[in-house]
């Protein structure tokens, strides 16, 4: 098979990938998703409206990012 057939098929509608079965996806989605949402929480909301840790160190450290990312900051 010619090389340009490959690139063409990858770039256009021909190469429809096989879907990943939901059963294989689910554990990753649950545990990975939970970890990633926790990370977002610390950047976006910790020590704002709610706080897992006392003080304001997390809030103050990510202060500029929180404003520029559009989260309600204070």
Partner 1 sequence: MVGSLLLRGMLVGILAGVLAFGFARVFGEPSVERAIAFEEASGGHSHGEAAPAPGQGGATDAHSHGPGAAPHSHTADAHAADAHAPDAHAPGEHAAQTGAAPAEPELFSRATQSGPGLLVALVVYGAAMGGLFALVFAYVNGRLGPLSPRATAALLALAAFIALVLVPGLKYPANPPAVGDGATIGLRTRLFFLMLATSVAALAGAVVLARRLMARHGAWTGALLAALGYGVVLALVGLALPTVNEVPAGFSADLLWQFRLAALGLQAVLWAVIGLGFGAWMELGARPHVRPALGR
Closest separation between CB of residue 58 and partner 1, Å? 10
Calculated CA dihedral for residues 15, 26, 51, 69, nearest 10 degrees: 10
C-alpha dist (Å) from residue 22 to 16, 37, 68:
18, 20, 36
Closest separation between CB of residue 70 and partner 1, Å? 4
Report the C-alpha gap between 22 and 18 in whole angstroms. Answer: 12
Give the interface with partner 1 as residue ranges (CB under 8 A).
1, 5-20, 22, 24-25, 28-29, 32-33, 35-37, 39-40, 42-45, 48-50, 54-57, 60-74
SS3 state of residue 18: coil
Q: CB-wise, 6 or 52, nearer to partner 1?
A: 6
Closest separation between CB of residue 34 and partner 1, Å? 11
């Amino acid at each position: 098979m010619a090389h340009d057939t490959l690139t063409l098929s990858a770039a256009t509608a021909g190469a429809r990938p096989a879907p990943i079965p939901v059963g294989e996806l689910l554990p990753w989605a649950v545990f990975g998703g939970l970890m990633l949402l926790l990370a977002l929480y610390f950047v976006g909301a910790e020590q704002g409206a709610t706080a897992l840790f006392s003080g304001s160190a997390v809030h103050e450290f990510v202060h500029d990012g929180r404003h520029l990312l559009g989260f309600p900051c204070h």
